[in-house]
Structure 1
Amino acid sequence: MITALVTYVIDPTKVDAFEVYARAWIHLVNRMGGTHHGYFLPHEGANNKAWCMFSFPSLAAYEAYRTEMVQNGECQRAYQHAQDTGCILSFDRTFTRPILDGASVEELGL
């Protein structure tokens, strides 16, 4: 499994527009074979940062999604919304390998 962690710098006066964008992408990623873990919008602290995480079973599955996105009209409309509203100033995408199950200290030999 591969998980993308995306850090956004957003326009703090356009959080509502960013939320529309976020809701569209949660739907799209889930429909296109991924698992979206949600967006996290500013509440306390910095008012211009937001994050999201989504997973695909493999890097190949993620690359297939990226290829499909380019040709998908709904994806293009979501991108256009962000461009038209100026809600996203910049973003950074990092790929991670999640650890999703715990173990006792005894099992881990600690």
Structure 2
Amino acid sequence: MSLLCCIRYRIDPFQKEAFEAYAREWLQIIPECGGHLIGYFMPHEGTNDVALGLIEFESLADYEPYRARLRADPAGRANFDYSEIRRLILREERTFLRRVVR
């Protein structure tokens, strides 16, 4: 059974371009650290301060080692630091979802 980690970001709407640069960095870092990246999604119409990141894992047990690798990765650490210095993310929520199957 695979799980989908849905990261819901509430972002500063005046820094959408900077958040998109942050998201683009994850496109390479996440797969290198072991996550199956579905993608990052930016606001387009409607709500202007919500973005999503979707990452799939084989199991919840695979998630914790992935997070440790992400924190230890120099590019990952630099990207986390970039978002904190710029204050791009106002709130971040993680939800783990499983696919409905017959």
- With structure 1 as the length reference, what TM-score do the two structures score? 0.84
Code of the residue aligned with 1:85 in structure 2: it is R
SS in 2 for 1:42: coil
State whether residues 30 and 70 of structure 2, in contact with CA within 8 Å, keep that contact through their aligned partners in structure 1.
no
2:40: which partner in 1?
39
Contact 2:7–2:95 under 8 Å retained in 1: yes
The farther-off stretch of 41-50 and 22-31 is 22-31
Partner Cα distance (1:6, 1:59) in 2: 15
Code of the residue aligned with 2:72 in structure 1: it is Q
Task: After TM superposition, list the pairs within 5 Å mapping 1:11-90 onto structure 2.
Answer: 11-90=12-91
Moved more, 16-25 or 66-75: 66-75
Corresponding residue of 2:99: 98
Contact 1:34 1:57 in 2 (8 A): no
- Give the TM-score normalised by structure 2: 0.90
| Greater radius of gyration (CA) | 1
C-alpha separation between the residues in 1 aligned to 2:99 and 2:79? 27
Q: Cα deviation per residue 1:8-64 (whole Å; 9 max; x = unaligned)?
A: 110011011101111111211111222111111111101111111101112122111
| SS, match of residue 92 in structure 1 | strand
Structure 1 residue 70: Cα displacement: 2.1
Give 5+ residue unaligned stretches, structure 2: none
CA distance in 1, matches of 2:72, 2:88: 23
Partner of residue 6, structure 1? 7
Q: How far off its partner does 1:68 sit?
A: 1.4
- 4+ residue runs of structure 1 moved beyond 3 angstroms? none
Letter of the aligned partner of 1:23 in structure 2?
R
Q: How many residues align?
A: 101
